[in-house]
Structure 1
Amino acid sequence: MHGLAHFPSLRGQTLFLALAGLLAGTALQLQQSALWHWGVYALFVALALILLAQAATKKIANTALLVVAALVLGWGATGLRASAFLQHALDPALEGRDLVVTGVVTDMPQRNEAGLRFRLRVESAALDGQPIAVPPRIDVGWYAGVYPTGTELAGLQRVPDVVQAGERWRMTLRLKAPHGSRNPHGFDYELWLWEQGVQATAYVRAGANDPAPQRLGQTWRHPVSLVRQTVRDQILAQITPRQYAGLIAALVVGDQNAIDRVDWDVFRATGVAHLMSISGVHITMFAWAAALVLGWLWRRSGRLCRWWPASSAALAGGVLLAIAYSAFAGWGVPAQRTCVMLATIAALRLSGARWPWPQVWMLACAVVVALDPWALLQPGFWLSFVAVGVLFATDSGAGRAHSTRAGGRFVSEFSAGPPQGKLAPLGGSAAHAVASVGAIFREQWVITLALAPLTLLLFGQVSIVGLLANAFAIPWVTLVVTPLALFGVLVPGLWDVAAGAVGLLLAGLQWLAAFPWAALSVAMPPLWLGVAGVLGGMALVFPWSWPMRLLGLPLLLPVFLWQAPLPPEGQFELLAADVGQGNAVLVRTAHHALLYDAGPRYSLESDAGHRVLVPLLQALHTRLDTLVLSHRDADHVGGAQAVLAMQPQATLLSSIEPEHPLQVLRPAQRCVAGQQWRWDGVDFAVVHPRAEDYDRQGKPNALSCVLRISSGAHTALLVGDIEQAQEARLIADSADLLHSDVLLVPHHGSKTSSSAAFLDAVAPQFALMQSGYRNRFGHPAASVLQRYQERSIVVHDSPHCGAMRWQSWNPQNVACTRESSQRYWHHRVP
């Protein structure tokens, strides 16, 4: 490292540009929709290394050539790693087959009302007694209760046993490739699994006719995970209420799943979500405290000080203990990034290198990206990267190239979430610590203002009360709650004290979150506008004259004023969200919006409303006028509660019964054939069910609200889960209203729907099919697909297409989110 610090051809601006080239090359490779042959990447890596070797021998000193070499190296190395990783991808022929798998549980299992989930390191796998190759790491679900397969029930599943980290199990699994929902501005589940090294998901076959899973013994291969699991279980057993226990478990062992969903909503609204898990702030705080203690102890020994200076020993020891703490906390990706930051800066300081802050800043980022190229696609990385740069550039002492304070601030501020406040440099004195805590209040506004445009670009929301919330939450969580929670591992009684501190914290945050202006939501701007806004925010906080700072306003304001494009007057748009096995279609006109169904409930803590629809509506800044719930089935109303809570002004139109729980939240108006209204030149009409249908006893599917939407020239028909009996009656009663350009496929493609006569009456050009990938109901049925194909109806389905968008003013095209944003880590459905 010392040699690198004085490398003649890599000084100053050249080093900065070379590191930037490495980052740019990596970023370019991440834009590939498909990987090339691994040999191409290997060739470019070899070329880049040759150029760098020439530079090292001083045969080449051209800055531009070095930047190009670094760019090629970043591109080729990332592609080579991705190609090697994909060599272990799941063979599509093995999906849906019963495989006997032996493996070791690598982490804490997560339990919920449906069963439990855990990660398995595969040791062997067999199909029909023959050994086969499967991905080395898979996520496994072990479900309890009745589990439907196809259209029948497989019977009562065996209740999951107590599963512990480090145990070896043999069990029958059904595997499938990682496949998540793909929606505009939505969470990329497949990228998340890719970063975790997971290339398949599975569920345990534990029905009455399946071989019983066998526990083969404890291997002790993952002792840290086993200890974490034991500590978490003790926390959850000792602390009441469960709400407080979950937060303490998250702070001690990094189990973020233990935090209630409603609490996450409060944390996001108040801008303190970064504090409620093992983040860079906590790890750096731990490292700083450990360094202070080690430095104090080291100075007590003259022999040790003569062998190695106390400041250096404290720095190295603090980093090592921070790494140990991160391992105990689960060694998540954000913790890994923070530890890399700490280690990089510590190595520079221990080597005697004295680099200006831009080079230190860029080096630390380049090291993180070299170890984890896909960090460039994580919001936390960019929030941290920009925040650190802002703090460096706006610090009054940043201009001192050898500023130890700047180096310490860099380490403390670079974390997974928006870095808040700063801590004293590792190995610093108590006076530095006091000064750093005081600086939290002075610099919090700088971070808030500078990151606001980036936060809006990434999340479409920024907390207005975040400055106030962080002012008391940062010191309270880092100096009170977290230490009490950690020392509770040794003295369990302290967990009760920590629970009391958590209660006070939640009370304050809930009070702030209750304000109607607690958070600002805007339409998520395009990338170019977001980048301009970030530059404008940085200009406002730079230590320039105020006339110069105010030049940032023209760049900043458009981010807050941006509006997502809306349909023209007299036209409408359908956006069929990718919610898995369920329906959810957003209909927008020039000034109105309607949501047809709200998708499924995945578990007690997860549903399509919170996971997909609320973020989508926020990203588009859409205000619903009406929520239509076709009928009461869980795959149509599962996300309704979350949507209604977010959209208090929306009226509810549905066929749900008067006793349905949603009636308490929002009284529903019955949908009845003949209801009509007009929005912005677009006609809406309910064509089913009839009023007398509500008096008949039958399946909920028969009462599905059927909605016809027409601009005059073009029409769409949304039909819920109607079956062939209802299709026949629609043909008899309303044949003249059925012809449409677009049809939402009835009942997700079930064999009980989509009769030949109905398809002939509707005669759509496009059919939109919302169904889950390899769903357990077997939708769509092969016979149904054949009927669509025989009539040359183009079928677009969620597994292949993701979210589907159709526009009445562009009726010859259905835009697929999965296709338009395809990257090589995304699953390609056969």
Structure 2
Amino acid sequence: MRTGIVALALGLLALRFLPELPPVWFWLLLPVVALMLLPFRTYPLAFLLFGFSWACGFAQTALDDRLPAKLDGETRWVEGRITGLPQNSETVVRFELADARSRHAAVPSLMRLAWYGGPPVNSGERWRLAVKMKRPVGLLNPHAFDYDGWLLAQGIGATGSVKDGQRLAPARWAWRDGIRQRLLNVDAQGRAGALAALVLGDGAGLSREDWQILQDTGTVHLLVISGQHIGLLAGTVYLLIALLARYGVWPGRIPWLPWACGLAFAAALGYGLLAGFDVPVRRACVMIGLVLLWRLRFRHLGAWWPLSLALGGVLLLNPLASLQPGFWLSFTAVAVLIFTFGGRLGPWRWWQTWTRAQWLIAIGLCPVLLLLGLPISVSGPLVNLLAVPWISLVVLPPALLGTLLLPVPVVGEGLLWLAGGLIDLMFKGLGLVANQLPAWVPVAVPLWIGVLGGLGAFLLLMPRGVPMRALGWPLLLLLVFPPRDEVPEGRADVWQFDVGQGLAILVRTRHHALLYDAGPRVGDFDLGERVVLPALRKLGVKQLDVMLLSHADADHAGGARSVANGLPVGRVLSGDPQGLPGELLAEGCESGRQWTWDGVTFRLWQWSAASESNQKSCVLQIEANGERLLLTGDIDRHAERALLDSPLAVSTDWLAAPHHGSRSSSSMALLSALQPKAVLISRGHGNSFGHPHPTVLARYRKRGLRIYDSAEHGAIRLQLGSYEAPQTMRQQRRFWRDSPTVDHGGNK
């Protein structure tokens, strides 16, 4: 039976690695084949086929519920119910709309919406909304968070922005939202948002600074409800009843053990429902339920058996859970603890158990975090020695008890005031550590190095005395000091990042790096901090010799401050230095300026008669082994006409579309003079400016240009000087991503 459960889980997990789903007839045939195998006692293979078929069917159903391509960008009236915990702020309201219906079109049943300047909404309310709908497509960059996969795993079939709406019915059965509102209105010494995260798993009330501190110190799991919170509550309830029975307080006519097991599981399940029942909570509830069941039957239960059942149960409920990083981190952490503490000869002292647990989890999770592209906390093992018991034993009891006693005047609010103060004290301590030891963002490594690093971690988790255990350290250090992917002499490695409606292009030679524009910033949403800076670090860029900001508009220079704060920058150049923040200390763009790095030539140009910011864009030509790339910023047709009289008006292989392909740029005169073979477009999916304009696209196609569009291809990598086709992120096929298309002069 255990082998069958493991085989079922493997079949369900196989979905995660499929480039595309098999045909419907194939996965519908698999259960029939599995049933035919059962009489031959080939249970593992039958369970494997059952699991794979179920996962494929589940994924196909989720894909079929996505917004049809023909409705992408259209505005429709939709009716539905607000679900989950809406995020209400002064500028934007974000929420999920369930049971969505439209009179004139089939729309996804679950949507994730934003209403800028909209009124507060509450969970459980029914609304009629005018929604501009978009297909669930996110930014796609090297070694970054896969937003497309996350949306599919959540069952979200469309995103969109609300233009207008009216409430049809008040909230019903919105008890989680009601509790959150009570918590947020309590005086918790400025930590009401952290209390909501701890009690309800709602992190919306945490600031960006709070999240950064938690990430730097490896303590995110403490305020995003994890299995240890569920286990602690269940264990406390069980231990309390056991103590009552031991000292004769429990009624003798009532058997204490069934009540202890039942109430402990009820407490775990209740806290899980309160927390939203995410993957770590589901895993914990299943494992706790099995342990209590076996305890009720006075049987010893090995640790691997409940973990296997929890893995299979979580994946049966939602096979797409494997697309979420939290799934892998949760199960890996528990597996590490079971492996390292199970079957040991002789007990460890309590302090040895506690300290070793933190270090062993850090070693075991290191390869997983790296392969998932997540930061690694250097201080995490030490910080968690104190932070875990502080939250679990000191903060959590008054937080949960205060929430339960909120209807009681003064008592509930007093307990929450105390819990908030304790959380604030913890954050002050964590902040001191985070300032000294921020999280490490490792360089991305190939899969084979990740596998070797995982093998090294496995060897280090083995007991002392195991042969070849010492080899674990050099194998694990491969993750820290991987072989460098050197750029050949005379070549340039070019990355156009997917930053939405903006621009950020990295150019690396063998020993130098240049960043052309730094991505957009809209309000507090800084793509320089969230996309560009992490991508630079993961690609191994330790410093920028030059950061060239074409001009001062926010979609090109908005992320510059974050990049400059995160990496050493040698020089900052800009076509509009006066429009940049003063701390950047930018130099002007000097037409005719030229330099050579490792056999690659760079040339600058700027229109001297420019009158506004777009026209002031600093144009950069890069030439490697005779192959040329022209980066044009946001110049318009007037600046293009002046460019034709400059030394840069020569045959160009690659053209970065001026002004994201707007109608005011990419004149036929420019294209005729440069004769590019391909064009790179950086723009946001479904942007409000209509970029690239259909007239410009027709112009490109008329000249037979290959079109690479970040909205369709994600980040684009070009090996300048090799005369090869570029690589795009969407070429890395995943069944949950739209297929990439390349426009070859009108043939799509």
Structure 2 residue 240 is matched with structure 1 residue 293: yes
Indicate conservation of the 8 Å contact 2:490/2:721, yes or no: no
- Is residue 380 from structure 1 mapped to residue 293 from structure 2 by the alignment? no
How far apart, in 2, do the equivalents of 1:618 and 1:586 lie?
A: 12
Q: Give the aligned partner of residue 432 of structure 1.
A: none
What's the secondary structure of 1:194's corresponding residue?
A: helix
Instruction: Check whether the contact 1:599–1:608 (CA below 8 A) recurs between aligned residues.
Output: yes
Q: Among 593, 616, 636, which residue is 1:723 paired with?
A: 636
Letter in 1 for 2:178: V
Q: Which of the numbers 151, 160, 165 marks the counterpart of 1:202?
A: 160
Give the corresponding residue for 1:161.
119
* 1:371 alignment counterpart: 317
User: Does the CA contact (< 8 Å) of 1:460 and 1:524 recur in 2?
Assistant: no
1:193 to 113, 132, 151: 151
Say if 2:696 is the partner of 1:784.
yes
Rate the CA distance shift 1:76–1:722 in 2: closer, same or farther, 3 A: same
> How far is the alpha carbon of 1:120 from its aligned partner?
0.8
Question: C-alpha separation between the residues in 2 aligned to 1:162 and 1:634?
Answer: 29
Show CA shifts across 1:531-564 (max 9, x none).
Answer: 2212212212321317642132342222221145
Q: In 1, are the aligned partners of 2:550 and 2:575 still within 8 Å (CA)?
A: yes
For the pair 1:138 / 2:52, whether they are aligned, the reply is: no
Provide the rounded CA distance (Å) in 1 between the counterparts of 2:266 and 2:722.
59
Report the alpha carbon displacement of residue 113 of structure 1 after superposing the two structures with TM. Answer: 4.8
Shift of 1:35: 2.5
CA distance in structure 2 between the partners assigned to 1:379 and 1:399 by the alignment: 34
Moved more, 576-585 or 557-566: 557-566
* Inter-partner Cα distance in structure 1 for 2:619 and 2:566: 25
Q: Is the 8 A contact 2:217 2:438 kept in 1?
A: yes
Give the aligned partner of residue 149 of structure 1.
none
Give, in whole Å, the separation in 1 of the partners of 2:638 and 2:692: 19
Residue 254 of structure 1 pairs with residue 201 of structure 2: yes
Aligned 8 A contact 1:191 1:826 in 2 = no
Q: CA deviation at 1:770?
A: 0.8
Give the match for residue 745 of structure 2: none
Verify the 8 A CA contact 2:150 2:324 in the aligned structure 1: no
Q: CA deviation at 1:827?
A: 7.2
Partner letter of residue 716 of structure 1? L
Residues 1:485 and 2:399 are matched in the alignment:
yes
Q: Is the 8 A contact 1:96 1:176 kept in 2?
A: yes
> Cα distance, 1:777 vs. partner?
0.8
Question: Following the alignment from structure 1 to structure 2, what is the Cα–Cα distance between the partners of residues 366 and 399?
Answer: 30
Q: How has the CA–CA distance of structure 1 residues 359 and 399 changed in structure 2, closer, same or farther, with 3 Å as cutoff?
A: farther
Correspondences of 1:764-803 after superposition (within 5 Å) = 764-803=676-715
**Counterpart among 528, 552, 574 of residue 609 in structure 1:** 528
* Partner SS, residue 85 of structure 2: coil
Say yes or no: does 1:576 pair with 2:496. Answer: yes
**What does residue 417 of structure 2 align with?**
496
Quick one: distance in 2 between partners of 1:547 and 1:37? 47
Report percent identity of matched pairs. 37
* 1:239, distance to aligned residue in structure 2 (A): 4.5
Question: 1:557, 1:702 → 2: CA distance?
Answer: 49
In 2, distance between residues paired with 1:376 and 1:437?
34
Instruction: Specify the code of the residue in structure 2 equivalent to 1:706.
Output: V
Aligned AA (1:466): G
Q: Distance in 1 between matches of 2:198 and 2:664?
A: 50
**SS of corresponding position for 1:702:** helix
Counterpart position of 1:151 = none
Contact 1:41 1:79 in 2 (8 A): yes
**Distance (Å, rounded) in 2 between the aligned partners of 1:482 and 1:686:** 59
Unmatched tracts of structure 1, length 5 or more: 1-9, 55-59, 145-159, 207-212, 406-421, 423-434
Describe the shift of the 1:297–1:134 C-alpha distance in structure 2 as closer, same or farther (beyond 3 A): farther
CA–CA distance in 1 between the matches of 2:100 and 2:536?
44
Pairing partner for 1:40 from 14, 19, 26: 26
Give deviations 1:651-700, integer Å, cap 9, x for gaps.
Answer: 32223443633x22x3112222122222111111211244xx5xx6x331
**Match 2:367 to one of 440, 453, 457:** 453
Superposition pairs for residues 314-353 of structure 1, below 5 Å?
A: 314-350=260-296
When residues 713 and 123 of structure 1 are mapped into structure 2, their CA distance, relative to the original with a 3 A threshold, is closer
Task: Give distance in 1, aligned partners of 2:7 and 2:67.
Answer: 34
Aligned 1:35-114 pairs, distance under 5 A: 35-52=21-38, 54=39, 60-61=40-41, 65-114=42-91
- Aligned counterpart for 1:655 among listed residues 569, 575, 579: 575
Q: Is the 8 A contact 2:494 2:718 kept in 1?
A: yes
User: 1:535 matched to which residue of 2?
Assistant: 455
2:725 to 789, 813, 817: 813
Q: Is the 8 A contact 2:58 2:319 kept in 1?
A: no
CA drift at 1:270: 1.6
Cα separation, 2, equivalents of 1:181 and 1:31? 20
Deviation at 1:356, TM superposition (A): 3.8
Distance 1:642 1:338 in 2: 38
* Residue equivalent to 2:337: 391
Distance 2:5 2:451 in 1: 21
Q: Work out whether 1:179 is the aligned partner of 2:125.
A: no
Q: For residues 540-579 of structure 1, what are the structure 2 equivalents within 5 Å? A: 540-545=460-465, 548-579=468-499
Q: RMSD value over aligned CA atoms?
A: 2.7
Aligned match for 1:233, one of 184, 187, 206: 184
Mapping for residues 207-222 of structure 1, pairs under 5 Å: 213-220=165-172, 222=173
**1:351 CA displacement:** 5.4
User: Which amino acid letter does the alignment assign opposite residue 528 of structure 2?
Assistant: G
CA shift for structure 1 position 773: 1.1
Pick aligned residue for 1:679 from 597, 602, 619: 597
Residues 494 and 219 of structure 1: is their aligned pair in 2 closer, same or farther, counting only changes over 3 Å?
closer
Distance 2:252 2:61 in 1: 47
Pair 1:740-2:648 in alignment: no
Which digits, 9 at most, give the CA deviation of each residue in 1:44-66, with x for residues without a partner? 023224434x2xxxxx34xxx33
Per the TM alignment, residue 301 of structure 1 is displaced from its structure 2 partner at its CA by 8.0
State how far apart, in whole Å, the 2-side matches of 1:645 and 1:249 are: 31
Preserved contact between residue 180 and residue 196 of structure 2 (Cα < 8 Å) = no
| Residues 299 and 305 in structure 1, CA contact (< 8 A), matched pair in contact too | no
1:470 is displaced (CA, Å) by: 1.1
Q: In structure 2, how many angstroms separate the alpha carbons of the residues matched to 1:78 and 1:396? A: 32
- Tell me, in whole angstroms, the C-alpha distance in 2 between the residues paired with 1:364 and 1:589: 49
Q: 1:32/1:602 Cα in 2 relative to 1: closer, same or farther (>3 Å)? A: farther
Secondary structure of 2:103's aligned partner: strand
Over 3 Å counting, the alpha-carbon distance change for 1:526 and 1:341 in structure 2 is farther
Give TM-score, length-normalised by structure 1. Answer: 0.83
Task: State whether residues 522 and 619 of structure 1, in contact with CA within 8 Å, keep that contact through their aligned partners in structure 2.
Answer: yes
Evaluate the alpha carbon distance shift between residue 216 and residue 380 of structure 1 in structure 2; reply closer, same or farther with a 3 A threshold.
closer
Letter in 2 for 1:134: V
CA contact (8 A) 1:139 1:200 kept: yes
Give the aligned residue type for 1:796: Y
Q: How many Å separate the matches in 1 of 2:356 and 2:476?
A: 22
1:352: Cα distance to partner? Answer: 5.6
CA distance in 2: counterparts of 1:217 and 1:497, whole angstroms: 37
Amino acid at match of 1:715: R
How many Å separate the matches in 1 of 2:667 and 2:643? 12
The 1:637/1:297 distance shift into structure 2, 3 A limit, reads farther
Q: CA deviation at 1:781?
A: 0.5
| Equivalent position SS for 2:37 | helix
Cα distance, 1:354 vs structure 2: 4.2
User: Could you tell me how far apart the structure 1 residues matched to 2:616 and 2:482 are?
Assistant: 41
CA separation of 1:246/1:233 partners in 2, compared to 1, >3 Å: closer, same or farther?
closer
1:305/1:126 CA distance change after superposition, 3 Å:
farther
Structure 1's 219 and 784: CA in aligned 2 closer, same or farther, altered over 3 A?
A: same
Residue segments in structure 2 that go unaligned for 5+ positions in a row? 407-411, 742-747
The residue matched to 2:605 in structure 1 has which SS? Answer: strand
Residue of 175, 180, 197 corresponding to 1:224? 175
CA–CA distance in 1 between the matches of 2:713 and 2:273?
39
Q: In structure 1, what is the equivalent of residue 376 of structure 2?
A: 462
Shift of 1:790: 0.8
Output the TM-score relative to the length of structure 2.
0.92
1:578-628 deviation per Cα after TM superposition (whole angstroms, max 9, x unaligned) = 111111111111121111112122441x32123212221222221222222
